[in-house]
Amino acid sequence: MLDYAEPVTKLIDEFKRLPGVGQKSAQRLAFHILRMPEQDVARFVAAMEEVKRKIVFCTVCNNLTDVDPCRYCSSTSRDRSIICVVEEPYNLVAVEKTRGYHGLYHVLHGSLSPIRGMSPDDLRLQNLLPRLRPENNDGIEVREVILATNPNTEGEATASYISRLLKPLGVRVTRIAMGMPVGSDLEYVDEVTMDKAMANRHEM
Amino acid sequence: MLLESLEAHCFRNLSGRVSWGAGLNIIYGDNGQGKTNWLEAIYLLATSKSFRTQKPQEAVRFDEELAVVRGRVARSEQVHRDLQVAIQNNIKTLSINGKRESVARYLGQLHVVAFTADELEVVRGAPEARRKFLDRGIVSMQHAYVQTLSDYQRVVRQKNRLLQDAADAELSAAELAARLAPWNEQLVALSAAIHRARADYVERVNAVLERRLFGREEVSVRYVSSLEGKGDLSDYETLIAERLQFRMQAEMSAGYSLIGPHRDELEVLFDGRDIRSFGSSGQQRSALIILDLAAIAVYHSWHNEYPVFLLDDVDAELDRKRINQLLEYLEGRTQTFVTTSKENLVEQYAARAEIFEVREGIAELLAAPDGRISTSSKDASSI
Ligand SMILES: [Zn+2]
């Protein structure tokens, strides 16, 4: 016999499919839903359906968007000669928040990781190379590709793989620097970060 | 550094708080009373790990949820730090002076060198145990090396999976080479960092090795890079990059990583012969003690303070003559913790050590060099 009535069990099972949700959390969420007013549940369901219906991958940069091409790709005020490559849409948001970058983006939706079954074929890379041709970029030549993948072994491997693809095309390929968090004292920086910052020091 | 006191709650069968002596501490008791548990608690406080189990929760007393080990460490006369390790739901939380800290910041506050039955693998087991001995020593001087090692292991795992899956994926040799390149590139840089750190550490060890502490036989160590004899080791990056290129086909057929410092070896020689194959069990123990003392001396030359030395079940591991030579050497150097079930060892050192007797997890001070003697653990803790 099931612990709970069938509809409740079904809901718990659905929650358990979500990342990071175990049996206990799934139960808690399911019972929370049971206690919610009906119109709140309806709004929640509508929001999930809407996101699935309206959000697509931008065919140019793979960013999540409700218009294709996305707002960055179709903007007339952005610098079309620079492309910043990131792993996930939320990495794009992080770069964008700096307000200091005005180029275009390319979202890979992952990083190279044989352990997790992520090969170059599983990254959204196929549409990156064609973007470098002026005829696909409003007649503008891309002069720099910034690799802003994560500073871990998978992010490094991804950056290295892409730079090997792009270098023969003659485009400038750069990697974001790793090191000190700004606004903190040297003494509070952990040794690994300090070590990286020392290794990546630059001429003044 | 000095571990002034230690307090344990629901960690195995331990309870209460103990004030330790600054020199030799002998923890004495019958088997099963918990003397090694105290050593394990000190080791946990220092390293955040146990030398007995990989699963933290195993050390939490049966029927309890939370185990806490807390200790006060003196880094100098003026500087004291309260360290704490709490274990709950198989998760460890670390804090310094009551404030939660990351592992990276926590480690190094209390450094221990531990001679345990497990550590004997260094002189009798597979090369991995000897690489770990080197890496522990390097980490004690350079914490960022932990990241280098873990990145290296991660890259090797990724590369192994790539090589393993390549057969099924029916990739062309050129495509596989292109996919290997990003991992090999990192492998070159990380391998070079590991190689240099290990070569440097072995040089330091050799400089301080008490080769003849226990007699006429001479102990020596030699770092044998897995690339030895393959070319110019002083330009390691170029050499390993060449080897990776040259052996790529072999790695593809093997289906795993064949090149890198995960295949390094540390030779431990006893009178010029490999201790692992030719040493008697007693010689192996002597050699390991000498290696541990070298690790202590290297640490001291780097930090200008001594780590804490732990010796589990000392008389099961060493004969009396060697115990005496060892304890004499350590006197005036490290704060030392020794467990024993032998009463005569206790009698011999009664005037020169703090003696604690452990019964059902409670450690009671029996005798101390300054004459402080107590009849209950409560009194001992109030000092
Ligand atoms: Zn776009």
Cα B247 to Cα A69, A96, A123, B146, B265, distances in angstroms: 46, 44, 28, 28, 20
Nearest neighbour of A157 by CB, restricted to B165, B169, B186: B186
- B9 & B88 share domain: yes
CATH number assigned to the domain covering A64-175: 3.40.1360.10
Q: How many residues appear in chain B?
A: 383
Nearest neighbour of B182 by CB, restricted to A112, A115, A192: A112
Half-sphere exposure of B103 (CA within 13 A, CB side): 11
- B228 & B175 share domain: yes
- B211 & B353 share domain: no
B98 exposure class (CB count in 10 Å sphere: 0-12, 13-18, 19+): exposed
Contacts of B218 (CB under 8 A, 6+ apart): B211, B212, B270, B271, B272
- B168 & B186 share domain: yes
Instruction: With residue B113 as reference, give the H or E element that holds it.
Output: strand B112-115
Q: Which of B304, B328, B351 is the last residue of a domain?
A: B304
| Residue B162 region by backbone torsions, left for phi larger than 0, else alpha for psi between -120 and 50, else beta | alpha
Domain segments of chain A as ranges: 6-54, 64-175
Beta bridge partners of residue A103, listed in sequence order? A79
Q: Do B144 and A191 touch (CB under 8 A)?
A: yes
> Could you give the number of structural domains in chain B?
2
> How far out from the chain centre does Cα A21 lie?
21
Residues in chain B with CB shorter than 8 Å from the CB of A112 are 158, 179, 182
Half-sphere exposure of B32 (CA within 13 A, CB side): 0
Residues in chain B with CB shorter than 8 Å from the CB of A153 are 151, 154-155, 158, 186
Q: Which of B252, B280, B304 is the last residue of a domain?
A: B304
- In chain B, the residue whose alpha carbon lies closest to the alpha carbon of A192 is B144
Structure tokens at A166: 């792009």
Average pLDDT, integer, range A62-91 = 96
CA B150 – CA B91 distance, rounded (Å): 20
Q: Return the CATH number at B341.
A: 3.40.50.300
CA A199 – CA B193 distance, rounded (Å): 12
Q: Which of B286, B304, B322 is the last residue of a domain?
A: B304
- B295 & B312 share domain: no
- B283 & B314 share domain: no
- B298 & B316 share domain: no
Residues in chain B with CB shorter than 8 Å from the CB of A119 are 169, 179
| Structural domain containing residue B219 | 120-304
- B316 & B285 share domain: no
- B211 & B232 share domain: yes
User: How many whole angstroms from A65 Cα to the centroid of ligand 1?
Assistant: 8
Question: Could you tell me whether strands B265-270 and B219-224 are parallel, antiparallel, or unpaired per DSSP bridges?
Answer: antiparallel
Q: Return the CATH number at B161.
A: 1.20.1050.90
- B131 & B98 share domain: no
Using beta carbons and an 8 Å cutoff, which residues of A are at the interface with B? Answer: 112-115, 119-120, 152-154, 156-161, 164, 190-192, 194-195
Q: Do B178 and A195 touch (CB under 8 A)?
A: no
- B218 & B278 share domain: yes
User: How many whole angstroms from A106 Cα to the centroid of ligand 1?
Assistant: 7
- B278 & B259 share domain: yes
Nearest neighbour of B161 by CB, restricted to A115, A153, A195: A115
Shortest alpha-carbon distance between residue B223 and chain A (Å): 25
CATH number assigned to the domain covering A6-54: 1.10.8.420
Q: pLDDT 10s digit of each residue in chain B, 383 long? A: 999 999 999 999 999 999 999 999 999 999 999 999 999 999 999 999 998 888 989 999 988 999 999 999 998 888 999 999 999 988 999 999 999 998 878 888 999 999 988 899 999 999 999 999 999 999 999 888 989 999 999 999 999 999 999 878 888 889 999 999 999 999 999 999 999 999 999 999 999 998 888 877 789 999 999 999 999 999 999 999 999 999 999 999 999 999 999 999 999 999 889 999 998 888 899 999 999 999 999 999 999 999 999 999 888 888 889 999 999 999 999 999 999 999 988 999 888 999 999 999 999 998 888 765 544 444 444 43
Shortest alpha-carbon distance between residue A129 and chain B (Å): 17
Structure tokens at A74: 């179709």
Mutation target among B141, B145, B150, B158 for the A interface, most CBs of A within 10 A? B158
Q: Do A115 and B179 touch (CB under 8 A)?
A: no
pLDDT value, residue B373: 55
The size of the A-B interface in CB pairs under 8 A is 57
* pTM of the predicted protein model: 0.85
Same fold, A6-54 and A64-175: no
